[in-house]
Structure 1
Amino acid sequence: MGAQEPQFITVGSGSRARRIATLVQPAADPGGAGLLWLIGLKSDMRSTKAEALAGWTSARGLGFTRFDYSGHGSSGGAFEEATISDWLEESQAVFEQLTRGPQILVGSSTGAHVALLLLRRLMEVAPEEARRVRGLVLVAPAWDLAELMWGQLPEEARRDIAEIGQWVRPSAYDPAGYVITRRFIEDGRRHAFRGAGFDPGRPVLVLQGVLDRDVPVAHARALADVLAGDWVRITEVPDGEHRLSRPEDLEKLHALIGELL
Structure 2
Amino acid sequence: MTGTGMGGRGAAEESASASPSPYIDTSKPHPARMYDWWLGGKDNYPVDEEMGRQLVAMDPRIPGIARANRAFMQRATRWLAASGVRQFLDIGSGIPTEPNLHQIAQGTAPDARVVYCDNDPIVLAHAEALLRSTPQGATEYIQADVREPAAILEQARQTLDFSRPVALSLIALLHFVPDEHGPYDLVERLMSALPPGSWLMLSHGTGEFTPDRARVAGDLYESRALSLALRDRVDVLRFFDGLDLAAPGVTVVDAWHPELGERVPVAGEGPVPIFGGVARKG
Higher relative contact order (CA 8 A, sep 6+): 2
User: Normalised by the shorter chain, which TM-score bucket?
Assistant: 0.3 to 0.5
Q: What TM-score do the two structures reach when normalised by structure 1?
A: 0.42
Structure number having the greater strand percentage:
1
